[in-house]
Every structure is written in structure tokens, then in C-alpha cells.
Structure 1
């Protein structure tokens, strides 16, 4: 079941699912758009795995609940901003005890999945996989490999830092990504420090990574790595995740975030800032980079580990397809794995503890995301 199939990321994911031989039920608000997409994809599907469609709307919980029939089902959702629109889909999956996969990159929603929805899923047996796209699967993989490398040297890693970057030509964002980014600008974020999750503002800090001989800056964000990586190595006391999309403007963006965060605490000003961000994003949906733009960019994730006195222990760099193409392939792969892989007991999981490191390495390699020499 693919909810949000006619959006930009949803459409790419539908195409990836059909290529993988799955038979997705494409769900969304518009019967006209859904039927047209099914007709477009049907010629590329196996004869016994043609896509179908079903209408569902986040404003109607019953219509979303109706997408699922039981624990054997898999619900993949790209409907965002997730902080505003994500609750109906994950609620439906938990009620059905089903498998749930989403494409969010929004820190507040990720935290809610692990700290709130996860406990509900434990009671029903639902498996929740949040942020299963460019953000934040590559960082989980790079982080797990870096931890493994450090342990192989006989070292004890206590801190891991993960950086996300985009290579190639300028990176264009879809309308959905812009809306999600606007949704979290004023929201609180988090980090894993001193052995626990702590609240902090988005872009509170910056750090620099060496990528292909270049020094690239990243802004701190809350990712699924903060929850998932400490499960893999209990020696971890600190996890930092950084996004490098702002390029040379990273440090200025961090300073701007501080100003906006302070301004948002002034009565009435938060609403004005929020409305201004919505105007800047625009109202058009379903738009994103062209195929040419997608082919001209690639995904980069870097992870590095340190010991308790700050000595560098290991470093892993991954390179893969464009963030949007990678997200689509990851969502399709996760859906397929949920159908055939014996899942852990119910709850919220990271990519590695859900499917195992070897499976994740192989799956990502098959879609073109793999380590490179550093």
C-alpha cells in the first residue's frame, strides 16, 4: 500500500515498486490522478502484479484505516509534512498491527515515532520504520559500518558523527520537501548526548567533514540515528547528525535559526513567521527536480567515530543516486523486505535492527549506495 502515490516522491516510489515486481495499491485523494497513474504504470508491471488504486484522505481517518486489513499488510507513506499530516497513516498501521514505512525527514515526527508511537506499536505488533529515505537510512548504514570498523580495530567508540551531502550539480527540492523544511524551522529538534536524548533547536551547531578532499559544513538535526545507533553499540554516549545542503551558507543558516528560534518565543510572532515560511514555500504540490536534474546529483553520507578522549577511530563514506531516486528505491526495498523478512517484535526500529546489517548493505548496494575509499 503506497499512500501519497501521486505526489512527487510518491510517484517515484510507485515506479520503483513496479520495477521491483511488487503489486502496490496506490492511495491518495484524487481518483482521477490515481487511475491515470495506474494506467501509466500498468504496462511496466508483471501480468500478475499490476498496480491498483484506492482513495484515502488524511482528513478522513476511516478512509486511511480502510487501506489495511491486518498484520500482513505494509503501508508506505510519503504524505507530509508529517508533523501536520502524518498521524492518520501511522495510527492506521498501529491499529492493524501492520508494517509501516515513511519518508519523513522531520525531526519532531521522528522523535514522536520512537518515543510515543513505538510504545503503542509494541502492544499491537506493528513494525514502524520512520525516515526510511535519503534521510536517514544512509547515515544509519554509514554509522553502523564505522562502528563495526572501530570495533574491528579493538577500539571502543563513544561518539559517532554523521554528515549528509549532495554531490554534482545544484540540488533542487520538491514542493513536499520545501513544505517539510518549513514545518520544522520553528520546531524543536534533539540530539543524543551524554547517553540520552536531549531537546535542542534545529541547526544549533555546525561541524565540518572532509568529503573528497573538500571541507564541507553541516547543520545539526535530529535523525533516526540518535535512537537507532546506540542500540547497535552500547558504548555510544554521543551521536551527532548534520545536513550539508546549505553549502557555504551553513554557518549563516545556523545563526539565522538561532534568531528565528528566539523570535518565535515572542507572543504572536511565531504565527507571522510560520505564515511567511508558507508563502515562501508556495502552494503548488507534486513538483520537484526534472529527470535531468536527478541524474546530475548524487547522495553522500559520511560517518566517523571517536573514542572517549576524542581520538578518531574510523570513517566511512557512502555514495549513491540522487536523494529522491534513492528515497524511492529505499521505500520500495523496505516494503519488499517487510513482506519476506521475519520482523522483530512490534515497536519503532532503525534500518539495521529491523533488517540486519548484512541485508541492508546488500540492499543498498543493489540500488547503487555503497562505500567508497576515503
Structure 2
């Protein structure tokens, strides 16, 4: 293994919105990442504005282009999506080089494929691969793990709900709005009866207690369904819900049903795009620091026996900063933690397996994400 002094953090996508947040968080921690991307002029300008950072021009769609710049023990951080279209060569380059890997995806299908394709190779090369290491889906995994531990041996089911407070629609990035829209036509994996089962997004609605109020959330995908069953083999059910817009949960169920019906008809995709187009409306880029300060994230995990109507065994509520601010801080912390790492849980792993529960909870608390 390389020493900490020789390990580098390469940041792919620093000129984008999320990448910029990760860069700022890394610089606050004293790191000097190498900036990577395809736009030489934009990279050079950004590097100069931050005191002359090193930068390299790469084509993220070509594994070899990036792999030439990676060494064993380096940390590759990427925010370049859509990951289903652009992410596989990047993940493969890290696995082949033995470089640790962190991404910001919210695309669970991509995470599932990365685990299937590259977990074995990453274990061979010693690469720790952490997909979806941001607001999607570290808070849910942390809250659910704490709830499962509190519930004890009787736990069989975990329901996780993501919520937010503040003027949310103005505080959502264009990328998030587009992902939410596209997600209505994609299946949401759930853990059912010890198996992964694809369900229609927003096909179910569940209520959660949030800050003393009952709020609804609709079914979505989440990497909780991929990693929690490995940590808790007795789990029969894991389901993730989104409650960002509680009043819209049931209408979105109807919209999801209509959109999925339309896409099965000739020319239906165009009609579905027209129906969901208003979801993408809003300013380009993402919320600035002032807007982010006005919104906060809130995550609930409920542990139960899974029996209909049963009383929850345990609930854990986490509250923290804006989803975007939290993503930047989480990715920067993980990159700094992995730099120079020797040994540990290599492969495509979840946040608890990578860092341990106590260390992860302590780090999240320092970022402002804590149990309430």
C-alpha cells in the first residue's frame, strides 16, 4: 500500500454544482485535490482560483483516459452524472487501479450494477468503493442501523423516510428535479421476503412522525435495500420513502401510474415527458449558500417485526443541514478518511461497513447531522 503522503484525491466534476460543493469542503479540510474533467480551460481557471491546484484533462467515458492518472491508494471522487450513462468507466477505472472510489449518485440501479460488476475486482486490488455517499443515502443507512440496533433481535423490517424543511422547491437543483422526474418511470427496488423486488415508484404511500407532525411519503429507491440486509441478515423487508412534498405524495402516486401506463403505449414516452415536464421547471444550477441555509434535512427510520399493525420496536430521527451541503461534507470527509488507507473492508461497501457505526455517527454529528 502507498503511504498517506503519496495518496492523492482526484475530484472529477469539480466544475459542476455538486462537485463545487465537494471541492469547497475538501479545501476547508486542508486537502489539495487534483481536479479532473474534460474542459481544459474551465479546469485551469478553477484550479487557479484556488491557489494553483493540480489538474488533469480526462474523458470520463473512456476508462483508460482516467486510469492513466490513478495510482493504487489514490481516492477518486466523482459527481459526474447521469451515472447510468457516464459512471461505469469511472467506477471500473478505480477498481482496476486499486484506487478508492466515492460518488454522488442517487441512481440505485447504477449502485446495484457497480456492486455486481466491480466488487470482486475491487476486493482483489484493495479498492474501497462507496457509491451514493451523500444525502443519498448515508443518513438513511445511519438512522436505520441505529434503529435496528435499538430494536434488537426481533427486528425484521425497516422503513426509512426522507424529509426536508424550508422553501424546498426553490432550494432544489436542476439535476435533482430532473432525476425526480426520470425516477417516476424507473422501478424502485425494495427488499421483500429476503429478496430484491422491483416496485413501481410512488406505488405506495406511508406516514411518518416528523417533528411532532404526521407526514406522508411515497415509495422510492434507496441503497438501504442493498446494504442493510448484509449488515442484518434477519431482515425480511427494507423500504425507502421520499416525503419532501408530503401534500403531493398521493397525487404523485396517480401521476406515476399514468406515466408508467403511457410509456407502454406507442409514442407514449413523448406524452409522459409532456405530463412530467413541469417537474423540471426552475432555475439552472443549484441553491446558493443562502438558500441552502434555509432548508434542512430530516430522516426517520422505523424498525418493526414487519407484522401488519404491529407497534414499532424503535424509531430514530436524524436532522441536519441542507441535502446539498451535507453531500459535499460527507464526500469530502470520506475522501480524506480513505486517503492513504491501508487494509480494511475493500470492495463495494456501505458506509457502516467502510467506517464503522461509531465513527460514522460521530463524523455525521460533527457535520450537523445528529439524532433528535
TM-score, normalised relative to structure 2: 0.90
Report SS of the residue matched to 1:162: strand
Q: Which residue of 1 aligns with 2:122?
A: 121
- Which residues in structure 2 correspond to 1:59-208 (within 5 Å)? 59-69=61-71, 71-151=72-152, 155-171=153-169, 172-208=171-207
CA contact (8 A) 1:197 1:226 kept: yes
- Which residues in structure 2 correspond to 1:1-374 (within 5 Å)? 1-42=10-51, 51-69=53-71, 71-151=72-152, 155-171=153-169, 172-270=171-269, 273=272, 281=280, 287-309=285-307, 310-372=310-372
Quote how far apart the aligned CAs of 1:277 are: 5.9
Structure-2 change in CA distance of 1:12 and 1:308 (3 Å): closer
Q: For this pair of structures, how many residues does the alignment match?
A: 360
- RMSD of the alignment, in Å? 2.2
Quote how far apart the aligned CAs of 1:272 are: 5.7
Report SS of the residue matched to 1:312: coil
Provide the C-alpha distance between the structure 2 equivalents of 1:342 and 1:248, rounded to a whole number of angstroms: 48
Provide the C-alpha distance between the structure 1 equivalents of 2:353 and 2:81, rounded to a whole number of angstroms: 25
Q: Deviations over 1:15-42 (max 9, x none)?
A: 0001111111111222222222222222
Name stretches of at least 5 consecutive residues in structure 1 with no aligned partner: 43-49
Structure-2 change in CA distance of 1:263 and 1:343 (3 Å): farther
Q: More deviation in 203-212 or 271-280?
A: 271-280
Report SS of the residue matched to 1:67: coil
CA contact (8 A) 2:298 2:320 kept: yes
Quote how far apart the aligned CAs of 1:65 are: 2.3
Quote how far apart the aligned CAs of 1:293 are: 0.6
Q: Deviations over 1:168-227 (max 9, x none)?
A: 232422122233334433222210011111112222211110001111111212211111
Provide the C-alpha distance between the structure 1 equivalents of 2:281 and 2:166, rounded to a whole number of angstroms: 26
Provide the C-alpha distance between the structure 1 equivalents of 2:274 and 2:37, rounded to a whole number of angstroms: 26
Name stretches of at least 5 consecutive residues in structure 2 with no aligned partner: 1-9
TM-score, normalised relative to structure 1: 0.89
Structure-2 change in CA distance of 1:278 and 1:168 (3 Å): closer
Provide the C-alpha distance between the structure 1 equivalents of 2:160 and 2:150, rounded to a whole number of angstroms: 15
Quote how far apart the aligned CAs of 1:148 are: 1.3
CA contact (8 A) 2:126 2:343 kept: no
Provide the C-alpha distance between the structure 1 equivalents of 2:120 and 2:311, rounded to a whole number of angstroms: 37
Provide the C-alpha distance between the structure 1 equivalents of 2:63 and 2:114, rounded to a whole number of angstroms: 18
Structure-2 change in CA distance of 1:272 and 1:90 (3 Å): farther
